Amino acid sequence: MSDRIAEAVERGREKLLGPRVVNFNNGMQLVIKINVPQPSITLQKDSKMLLDLRTFAPEGTHIRYNPGGKWGAMLGNETQSPSILIGKFKGVDSALDFLHECGHLHNETLTDLALTAERRYSEQYFGKVPSDHSKERIQALKQRHEAVMYSERNAWAFSLRTVRNLEREFGVNILEQMHGNDGLLSYINNYLREYESQTMTELEYLDLPVVTFDQMRDMLSTLVS
């Protein structure tokens, strides 16, 4: 299904059935709307908005709906405001995903370092022969991996702190719906493993296969020492 069709389907669903909603144990709701000038994620009670989660993003952040389903954040520049892409709605975890993207925007330095490391590796080595095991290439891969993981962990830490503050302030049972701290950490770790898997895939392409993430990290350190 193309993005255009997917967006039309979701907008049609919202017109017919109303916005996506998560109900909390105290009568409050997390409400996600896309059929508005700017999509929103809000906490409401009795149809009255109590908090717009956009307030956790830097001032001027533009919110957009991504029919492709992927959540994302883009840094601003001199001519463009920062933006957050609202991705696939799965439930209460949408609050964590949104706040995670806010976290990326709140630490522009880490986010930019990760993007720069990814771009540098791609520009220098994408399409190059896998037999190139030069120290420079492995060093660039290691820098990409570490910059991305540091940025991701920082953004998830922001999300987790904010969720816990929301629970204290509004009494919403986000952690309970995520199956407690273990469920929440499992959710976050699944995302982090996706990024580690990207590095493992690149090592496999270089014919330097590893079985575990610990082995991957050890290999990266050994090859550049």
User: β-strands 20-23, 83-86: how paired?
Assistant: unpaired
Residue 56, pLDDT > 70, answer yes
The residue type found at 213 is F
Q: What is the pLDDT of residues 183-211, one digit of tens each?
A: 999 999 999 999 999 999 999 999 988 87
Find all residues with CB under 8 Å of 1, minimum gap 6, and list them.
9
SS3 45: strand
pLDDT of residue 214: 87
> The tokens 């540098």 sit on which residue?
120
Has residue 33 got a pLDDT over 70? yes
C-beta separation of 92 from 46 below 8 A = no
Provide the 8-state DSSP code for 130: T
pLDDT band at 1 (very low <50, low <70, confident <90, very high): low
**pLDDT averaged over the chain?**
93
Q: Is the CB of residue 41 less than 8 Å from the CB of residue 53? A: yes
Model pLDDT for residues 124-176, shown as the tens digit of each residue: 998 888 888 899 999 999 999 999 999 999 999 999 999 999 999 999 999 99
Higher pLDDT, 104 or 79: 104
Confidence class for position 93, pLDDT limits 50, 70, 90? very high
How many angstroms separate the CA atoms of 154 and 144, rounded? 16
